[in-house]
A and B are shown apart, each in its own frame.
Chain A
Amino acid sequence: MIKETMTPTERTWAAIKLEPCDRIPVAPLMDVMFPSRHKGMTVAEGIAHPRRGFQAIVDTFDDVGGWDAMILPGYSLPIPPSIAAVMQVVIGDTRYPGKEPGFSEDSSPQFIEKELLTIDDYDDIIKLGWTGFAEKHLSRFFPLDPEVLLAWAKRQLDRYKSEGEIWKARNIPSLCGSMVMSPLMFLSTRRSLVPFTQDLYRFPDKVQAVMDAMIDDLIRFAIEAAHATGIPGVELILERGGCFYYPLKIFERFEFRYMKKMVNAFADKGLITVMHFDQDWTLNLPYLLDLPKKMCVCELDSTTDIFKAKEILKNHMCIMGDVPASLSSIGTPKEMRDYCEKLIDHIGKGKTGFILSTGCTIPFDTKFENFQTMINSVKNHLPQ
């Protein structure tokens, strides 16, 4: 066991600010699913009972001897209670475990990819702005009293804040006080991938006009939520704009231009951005040098080349990741230890600028012994 000379908060923030750490910090991207199963509940139970679900996270933390930071403090959603902010979440179709015939109580929620926004909606967003569009169309997506929705958002936000405070009392920092998608990610998932791709090629100017009409509101919601929760960071959710999906000319025009505006606006308010990159972004990595130094975390899921990321970004931002989901669920403890130690040696070189984490959210069918091995790896192994 390595002798520790820093608290988890000091260690995590030192890694983000590219300052030396006593050892590499570890911060799994946690939700209630794996902890619920670990503590004898089904996934459906953990989701349906937020307090029990959250307690399962805390108990799992204790069972493995603790980790260094929560990327998000729990499973609640940090949404400011306004119609326009909540509407981002309401436009969606998700299947929940135990709620659909044949959909097991022990499965993860799954987002249904379908055309929820139409081409005509583009015109309305351009004309009315996001807030105007949300107020006009809310009943289409949420046919009940808006007050019910606002009360739900307030409960979520309050719970998120209190979950953050519970971790803070344990001297465990939470990194993100709000979550937001880039405009491209939002539109691609709500128009669905194929129609949105056709939009990009058929009506690029219109798509850009929609993004221009949305961006200031998205930034405002994220900052409001971070201020309300008192946690100085934003989780920026990114998947559909990287080089797995599109060439750099599309990334530059429809993704990076807005990412940069968001990250700069957050940094101006003193908020760090944890860029949650799903899928492969290897070719996009050099662009990240144009974002404010030491104010971002590059969170990778094992499909982007993390070694290339270190080479490019080592003096600019912290890298987080990237234990593959398959390793957590069907790998062996030895395979897990070997992989984590390789990351600690190479990405954690210099004992800074790296936080070991799961590649995306920890899978609900993770083997506990694999998770324990991942957490222990940083406590027993220094970068060689």
Chain B
Amino acid sequence: MSELANAIADLKEDEVKKIVQDKIASGTNPMSIVDECRQGMEIVGKRYKDKEYFLGELIMSGEIFKEAMAVVEPKLKAGQSKKPVAKMVLGTAKGDIHSIGKDIVAMLLNAAGFEIYDVGVDAAPEVFINKLKETGAPILGISGLLTPSFESMKQTVQALEAAGLRKKVKVIIGGGIVTEVVRKYVGADAFTDDAPEGVELCKKLAGAVK
């Protein structure tokens, strides 16, 4: 594993900044820097799975990754960026304005190569549907921390059916109180109460729609 990937995995914020700047200055292909950063994030994900890391380390690594991308992305030439793993529409269900869980998942999905279209919080079914139509994204993620969000999630899935999109779009719901009972009630394809697990599930859903 490269020095940069290890520095990200070990949450060495200053070291990551220096390595990225040195690489840019020495003319390293920016795309390979992105790849090394993503490899670092994969190690973070593995450490989380092994219970060596927790949400705090995910947040820190995500912030370090974002800082590195802020330096690298302006150097990427048009068309140089890799094809995304998948496009995905993400938001918090109508009636719920909690954003932290959604934002953490969005950050991890970005780092894993997804192209995220974040519709924000308190998003009505039509907001999700319009964004899915506009982007052609095959995955929809709906977040919620309050019980009334279950009804909003269900209405969104029903709206997806009414719009004739249900067969083309996989739906994952997430949040601290989401369970299998809720998944069935909503009619979603998957659920999670854990951000990295959510990323793995989205990768599987992306594979299923390809």
Contacts and interface: CB of A to CB of B under 8 A. Distances in A.
A and B: interacting chains: yes
Interface of A: 95, 102, 104, 107-108, 110, 112-113, 192-194, 197-198, 200-202, 243-247, 250, 279, 283, 302-303, 324-331, 335, 363-366
B59 interface: yes
A303 B193 contact: yes
Given A110-B96, A245-B54, A279-B176, A365 B63 contact: no
Nearest to B97: A110
A245 B56 contact: yes
B147 A243 contact: no
A123 B40 CA distance: 34
Q: Which 9 A-B pairs have the closest CB atoms?
A: A329-B147, A363-B147, A246-B56, A197-B59, A325-B177, A245-B55, A197-B56, A326-B182, A330-B185
B185 A193 contact: no
B146 A247 contact: no
B179 to A, nearest CB: 5
Interface in B11-53: 11, 13, 51-53
B157 to A, nearest CB: 14
Interface residues of B, number: 33
Contacts of A202: 13
A196 to B, nearest CB: 9
A247 B177 contact: no
B84 interface: no
Contacts of A303: 176, 193
Contacts of A104: 95
Contacts of B179: 324, 326
Nearest to A246: B56
Contact of A247 (B53, B97, B98, B103): B53
Given A194-B59, A329-B147, A244 B54 contact: yes
Contacts of A201: 11, 13, 56, 60
Given A104-B95, A110-B98, A363-B147, A326 B181 contact: yes
Contacts of B182: 326, 330
B1 to A, nearest CB: 22
A366 B148 CA distance: 10
Contacts of A193: 59, 100
A110 to B, nearest CB: 5
Nearest to A194: B59
Contacts, number: 85
B150 A329 contact: yes
17 contacts: A95-B97, A108-B146, A113-B99, A198-B59, A201-B11, A201-B13, A243-B54, A244-B55, A245-B54, A245-B55, A279-B176, A283-B51, A303-B176, A324-B177, A326-B177, A326-B178, A329-B147
A255 to B, nearest CB: 12
B147 A247 contact: no
A193 B98 CA distance: 12
A330 B148 contact: no
Given A110-B96, A326-B178, A198 B60 contact: yes
Contacts of B13: 201-202
Nearest to A360: B177
B147 A328 contact: yes
Contacts of A302: 177
Contacts of A107: 95, 146, 148
A325 B182 CA distance: 10
B174 to A, nearest CB: 13
B146 A110 contact: yes
B197 interface: no
A160 to B, nearest CB: 25
Interface in B108-150: 122, 146-148, 150
Which among B55, B97, B179 has the greatest number of chain A C-beta atoms within 10 A? B55
A193 B146 CA distance: 18
Contacts of B52: 247
B150 to A, nearest CB: 6
Contacts of A200: 56
Interface in B90-107: 95-100, 103
B6 to A, nearest CB: 17
A245 B101 CA distance: 12
Contacts of A243: 54
A198 B63 contact: yes
Contacts of A331: 181
Contacts of A244: 54-55
Contacts of A327: 181
Given A326-B147, A327-B181, A365-B151, 4 more contacts: A108-B148, A110-B98, A113-B98, A366-B147
B26 to A, nearest CB: 28
A303 B181 CA distance: 15
Given A95-B97, A324-B179, A326-B178, A365 B148 contact: yes
A363 B151 CA distance: 13
B60 to A, nearest CB: 5
A250 B57 CA distance: 11
Contacts of A113: 98-100
B176 to A, nearest CB: 7
A102 B120 CA distance: 15
Given A95-B97, A329-B150, A330-B150, A247 B176 contact: no
Nearest to A250: B56
Contacts of B181: 326-327, 330-331, 335
A245 B59 CA distance: 10
